[in-house]
A = this chain, B = another copy of it.
Amino acid sequence: MSFLSEYLDAKRAVVEKALDAFLPPAGEPPARLHEAMRYSVFSGGKRLRPILALAAFELAGGEGDGAIAPACALELVHTYSLIHDDLPAMDDDDTRRGRPTNHRVFGEATAILAGDALLTLAFGIAAADERLAPDRRAAVIRELAEANGSLGMAGGQEADLEAEGAAPGLDAIEFIHVRKTALPLAAALRVGALAAGAGRADLDALTVFGRSVGLAFQIVDDLLDVTGTAEEMGKAVGKDLARGKMTYPGVVGVEESRRRAGELVDRAVGALERFGPRSRPLAEIAAYVAERRS
């Protein structure tokens, strides 16, 4: 097994176990809601965000398990956003990671509530977990909220919906991608760094890394919608094009999109220089994001 696979597997195991402990048991009333929450949290996600947080925590000198709750909070926020984005009123998706979407299984009302409850739980565990000092908990929650609210991810989703069918422009696409993907992904790194009490220079470097990887991730996502197969992706492909969504390859072409993704990954890896060889996991994750097939 490669260095990266081993690293990801080890971190993923920690995250899976912690997520299970943070979520109320499936039988806890109202059982249907807790079943719906667990259905989407445990659906084969890569756990990229929590792993990035744990890696940043270590790189910024963090010790112990103070970053576990913040890392899980990131995954819960990510899961809530997927459930709500898939709703009929939003992207209207029937499958996600090869399985029926939450609202297709539990109905729209429960899916909305499952998303709401996961978002609420994310902040709850970040606030309550005593393995981290209270001032760092507050810093983590602030970061989570700012990256995912109306000036972050939720605002990006709104802009994305408004832009459907509109004439594509690179500015509009970047407005959306920065908010929907780059800020939330940078937040994963920043949350880990803040949990470690990182200084300004480390925080800035990890922010550059996160934003660059986030933008690259989104460009590759757009590319996969054009060039991937449904089997590889576990969801319908070609949907962006069909619904007139603005995408990177749609505006600048496949080749130029690939070039930009590569450039962003180089920039991300460059930002890690100050950390020396200890940054290998993050550097390899950046390369993996650009080369992934699903």
Contact = CB atoms under 8 A, between A and B. Distances in A.
Question: Main SS of chain A's interface residues?
Answer: helix
Given A121-B145, A124-B145, A145-B127, A84 B155 contact: no
Contacts of A126: 141
Interface stretch (A27-35, A199-207, A212-220, A221-229): A27-35
A100 interface: no
Interface size class of A (residues with CB under 8 A): 35 or more
A21 to B, nearest CB: 15
A89 B90 CA distance: 13
Interface in A67-85: 80, 84
Nearest to A126: B141
B141 A127 contact: yes
A120 B157 CA distance: 14
A150 interface: yes
Contacts of A154: 33, 113, 116-117, 120
A166 interface: no
A61 interface: no
Interface in A133-174: 134-135, 137-139, 141-142, 144-146, 148-151, 154-155, 157-159, 161-162
Contacts of A115: 116
Count of chain copies: 2
A30 B159 contact: yes
Interface in A1-41: 24, 28-30, 32-34, 37
Contacts of A113: 84, 150, 154, 157-158
Contact of A146 (B30, B119, B124): B124
A32 to B, nearest CB: 7
A17 to B, nearest CB: 20
Interface stretch (A104-112, A260-268, A273-281): A104-112
Contacts of A149: 117, 120-121, 124
A22 to B, nearest CB: 11
Given A113-B158, A148-B120, A162-B30, A108 B137 contact: no
B150 A128 contact: no
Contacts of A282: none
Contacts of A162: 30, 32
Given A120-B148, A123-B145, 5 more contacts: A33-B154, A116-B154, A117-B149, A119-B119, A134-B137
State the 3 A-B residue pairs at the shortest beta-carbon distance, nearest first.
A124-B145, A89-B108, A127-B141
20 contacts: A30-B155, A30-B162, A33-B155, A80-B116, A84-B113, A89-B112, A110-B158, A115-B116, A119-B119, A121-B145, A123-B141, A123-B144, A124-B141, A124-B146, A127-B139, A128-B138, A128-B145, A134-B135, A134-B137, A138-B141
